Amino acid sequence: MKHYSIAIDGPSASGKSTIAKILATKLGFTYIDTGAMYRAFTLAVLENNLDPKNEEECDSLIGKISIDFDENNHITLNNKDVSERVRQNDVADNVSYVSTYKNIRLWLVGLQRKLASNRSVIMDGRDIGSHVLPNASVKFFQIADVNERAERRYMENLQKGIQTTKEECLENLKKRDYIDSHRDFAPLKQASDSILIDTTNMKISDVVDKMYIVLKNKGII
Ligand code: CDP
């Protein structure tokens, strides 16, 4: 059976995971949240009292921890479900530093490619179309106005019981956008063959419909 891969990249809180989860369920593809993998690595750094701004200290965990997804597609660190824990502020505040380290990226990208090697996947992140899966069947690049993204993240945090203000969400997104798009290795950038979707003022169902049409036209569904 032929396997397909759909890449969705874009800045923080642009709605990638919401859309990817809906599409994956609709198509029967596996959803792979690569951001959760960088968040899990960051959690391991914090739990081991290492300094997220010290590359050598962070690198020391490569190959010594296990990062995977369980049967519910929840992210696991050393076989423990950490899907709620990795959304907390301490992880969000440090993940973009840890994500700049080349050796950590190479290790996680290896795991991501392995996960995508034997099934149809929808993978979301920052570098999926440009680096992880350069031959993806379809590539989307999802953006939205930063104030709307901050509002979305604030509402999401509120629902999850995570204490933040709208201003803190905005600052965190701006900081991560900057670090993610200015790092040397595999930065956040639109692949030249990806389809840009600006979701500002778009309903979730409209974004899904738009992507669905692209997938139909490309013969993926
Ligand atoms: O959910 P949100 O949009 O806030 O972010 P995420 O997808 O969970 O990703 C968290 C962080 O991981 C990002 O800000 C990046 O620093 C890093 N990341 C990355 O560098 N490359 C990826 N493919 C995915 C995430």
* Average of per-residue pLDDT values in the chain: 97
**Confidence check: pLDDT of 89 > 90:** yes
Nearest partner of 215 among 10, 11, 5, 2, judged by Cα: 5
- Asked if 21 and 33 touch (Cβ cutoff 8 Å), the reply is no
Mutate to test the pocket of ligand 1, among 21, 111, 148, 176 (most ligand atoms within 8 A of CB): 176
pLDDT digits 0-9 by tens, 16-63: 999 999 999 999 999 999 999 999 999 999 999 999 999 999 999 999
| Strand partners of residue 124 | 8, 33
Provide the residue range defining the domain that includes 97.
Answer: 10-211
| Residue owning the nearest CA to atom 2 of ligand 1 | 12
- Asked if 34 and 112 touch (Cβ cutoff 8 Å), the reply is yes
Assigned domain for 169 exists: yes
Residue 201 is predicted with a pLDDT of 92
Residue 178 is predicted with a pLDDT of 97
Mutate to test the pocket of ligand 1, among 34, 101, 122, 128 (most ligand atoms within 8 A of CB): 34
Assigned domain for 221 exists: no
CA distance 117 to 29: 13
Residue 1 — pLDDT band, cuts 50, 70, 90? confident
Assigned domain for 111 exists: yes
CATH number for 120: 3.40.50.300
Average pLDDT value for residue range 124-146: 98
Q: CB within 6 Å of ligand 1 — which residues?
A: 12-13, 34-36, 38-39, 95-96, 99, 125-127, 176, 180
Total domains in the chain come to 1
Token output for 185: 């290795």
Assigned domain for 94 exists: yes
Give the rounded percent of residues in the chain with a pLDDT score beyond 90: 99
Assigned domain for 2 exists: no
In ligand 1, the atom with minimum distance to the C-alpha of 179 is 16
AA letter at 34: T
Assigned domain for 216 exists: no
**Confidence check: pLDDT of 83 > 90:** yes
| Residue owning the nearest CA to atom 4 of ligand 1 | 12
- Sheet holding 5-9: strands in order across? 30-33, 121-125, 5-9, 138-143, 195-198
* DSSP 8-class letter at 139: E
**Confidence check: pLDDT of 197 > 90:** yes
Judged on CB neighbours under 10 Å (0-12, 13-18, 19+), 196 is exposed
Mutate to test the pocket of ligand 1, among 99, 105, 174 (most ligand atoms within 8 A of CB): 99
Token output for 178: 């900057």
Residue 182 is predicted with a pLDDT of 97
Assigned domain for 217 exists: no
In ligand 1, the atom with minimum distance to the C-alpha of 173 is 4
- Ligand 1 center from residue 33 Cα (angstroms): 9
Assigned domain for 5 exists: no
Average pLDDT value for residue range 68-93: 98
CA distance 65 to 78: 6
